[in-house]
Structure formats: C-alpha cells, structure tokens
Amino acid sequence: MVDVIIEENKSLVGLQTFGLKAQTKYFGTFDSVQALRSLIEKGISPMMVLGGGSNILFAHHYKGLIMQNLIKGIEVTKHFKQSVHVRTGGGHNWHDFVLWAVQSGYGGVENLSLIPGTVGASPIQNIGAYGVEVKDVFVSCEAINLETGKKRIFRKIDCQFGYRDSIFKREAKGKYVITSVTFTLTKFTHQLKTAYGDVVKQLEAKGAWPKPSIADISEAIQFIRKSKLPDPAQIGNCGSFFKNPEVPEEIYQKIKQRHENAPCYPTTPGMVKVPAGWLIESCGWKGKRVGNTGCYAKQALVIVNYGDAEGAEVLQLVQDIIASVQAEFGIKLEPEVQIV
C-alpha cells in the first residue's frame, strides 16, 4: 500500500474543460497502479475516475471520491517488420502521445491530433476525428476493477467499439479504471487518410499535397481544429456535445421533403447519419445564449459556458435542445458527453 492524500470539498472548476461551478466531497490523484489500489481501499462510495475532464458535464456536486489519473509514460513494447506496439500510461495527455508518435515517425494517430484528454479515456468513447477512430490502432488496455482492485486486460474484441461507444459506456460503465493502453502504429508504410473535411485543402495551402507526411497531416488537422473549435482555455466547452444520430433512410427522406438541403452520410445499407449540428442549427439554437450557457456561434454542436455557469443550467439547455430537435424532426439526440 502506498500513501495517498485525500482532499475534502475540492472545487472541480479547473479540473474539467467546461469550467462549471461544481465540487467533489473527496478527491485524490494516482500516478501508479499501487496508488490507485490504495485509493480504492479507502472504501469511499461512490467513486469515479477523471482524466482531463474534457468529456464530462458535472450537473451536480459529486458526493463521493473523484480519482484523477496521472499515470504517465510511453514505451515501445514490440517491434515488428512494419509496425510497433506502444504502451502508454492512462493518465498521459492524448495530444502529447500523438506528437510523440508523429515525431518518432510512427503513423496511425496523426488524424487524432489535438483531441483534449487522456490516453486512458480514449477507448471509453472510441475517440474519433477526420476519418480515424481509436479502435483503428487499439490493441488492448489494462484496467483495474474498482470493486476488487484486480487487473483485467481488455482486447480489442472485448471492447465492443462502435461510433463514440464501447463496453465502457455500457456494461462496464464506471466499473474499471484504464491504467494503460497498447496501440499498434505503422513504421514505414503509413495509411494516410486525407479524404475528410478540409484536410486536402489545408495540405495544398501549406504546399504538402500530393505527398504529405504524417507530420504534415497532424499540422493541417491542428490548424483546422484551432480555426473551428473553441479553445476551452478561453471559453468552457466539451467539444461536440451530441452524437450524430443514425436514422433509417425513410426518416431522412421525410426530413428532406421539408428541408431540401438536409445533409446526410450513408452508413450501413438503409441507414444514414444526419449531422446533429445541422439539426440543432435548424431549430434556431446556433449562437443562442441562455443565461450563462448557450450554443457556440460557429458550431451549434458545441455547448459553451460563458463564464459562470452551473451544471444544472447547462443540463437544462441540453434537455431543451433535445426536446426541440425531437419536436421538429422526430429524432432523439443522444449526448456524447458523460453527464454526472
């Protein structure tokens, strides 16, 4: 057992990118599996793990123990002819890991540049951006059971990854702390993905098209993201608040009768994804402020804290948006962000 410090009545304002006024009854950090087990052995209930706080809405004060994951470190564990396996600490900053991979010449995560948060949270919602998801490079993760303190290895197949989804948002929700993740990255022949969004346009602008390196792609995506998404250091937010709903083609056709320019992306046969941002914008929410919260002026999918918001008023706005989209389109939006 190692010594761990538990603070009482700790403010969560600086520990989540929403910057909401909330606090936790108990708070502790861990930088090793032993320290995590010592926290678990305190027997405080409920308990939960926090990474970078970039995908969480504290709608209320937390009545139990919040444990912040500070397990860092990157290690190449296996070398193959064309690829490497890399194990990274669950508390390692995700973007720092991406930069390490790009600088080391390893491909696979460059499209996931500048996503806030920790490596340990990356499998929770199978983070994704610009045509790549974490499942594409995921090999396995090590996790500690919060009830027993025992270690379990989750292989890719065990994680049941889906669109912004995994077993950790369903059966295993709140039951495990991911302490490390092992990824597979390419060494020489990288599978570059440039078809999504303005990536090619940005690569052309920087003179890197048609033969971009993984570093060019990472830089292009960082540039695009900075121009589109609000920086949580300037204005509190959690990125996209809702998932893009997948609906049967007939529902989309009905929407199209009333909204000629309604966008959609085919997914599986007979199903399409309708951008949640478009649905919300069409209900008049884009740029709308309600008290201390509102929808970001450049992207309706992002809910922001104008400075002094409490979780309850953000939650009210979330519920109002869901109700108005349902009334207008008959589609129920699902939050991507974890509500606590």
Contact residues: ligand FAD, CB under 6 A = 17, 48-56, 69, 90, 115-118, 120-122, 124-125, 127-129, 176-178, 229, 232, 237-239, 338
270: left (phi over 0), alpha (psi -120 to 50) or beta: left
Cβ proximity to ligand FAD, 181 vs 262, nearer residue: 181
Q: How far is the CB of 230 from ligand FAD (least distance, A)?
A: 7
Residue 90 beta carbon to ligand FAD: minimum distance, rounded to whole angstroms: 4
Q: Are strands 56-57 and 338-339 parallel, antiparallel or unpaired?
A: parallel
Answer yes or no: 38 catalytic.
no
Structure tokens at 196: 């999504």
Looking at the Cβ atoms of 39 and 178, the one nearer to ligand FAD is 178
* Nearest distance from C-beta of residue 114 to ligand FAD, angstroms: 8
Instruction: State both tokens at 49.
Output: 């793990």
Minimum Å gap between C-beta 55 and ligand FAD is 3
Q: In what order do the strands lie in the sheet with 246-248?
A: 246-248, 271-273, 265-266
| Torsion sign over Cα 125, 130, 135, 141 | negative
One of 240, 282, 310, 313 is an active-site residue; which one?
A: 240
Active site residue 45: no
Residues 278 and 16: their CA atoms lie apart, in Å, by 27
Among candidate residues 87, 110, 113, 164, the one labeled active-site is 164
228 vs 256, which CB is nearer to ligand FAD? 228
- 17 versus 24: smaller Cβ distance to ligand FAD: 17
The active-site residue, picked from 142, 310, 313, 336, is 336
> Could you tell me which residues come within 8 angstroms of residue 296 by beta carbon, excluding any fewer than 6 positions away?
230, 235, 237, 286, 287, 302, 303, 304
CB of 176 to ligand FAD, least distance (A): 6
Distance separating alpha carbons of residues 86 and 103, to the nearest angstrom: 14
223: part of which helix (H) or strand (E)? Answer: helix 214-228
Nearer CB in complex with ligand FAD: 135/286 = 135
Active site residue 336: yes
Q: What amino acid positions are annotated as catalytic residues? A: 164, 240, 336
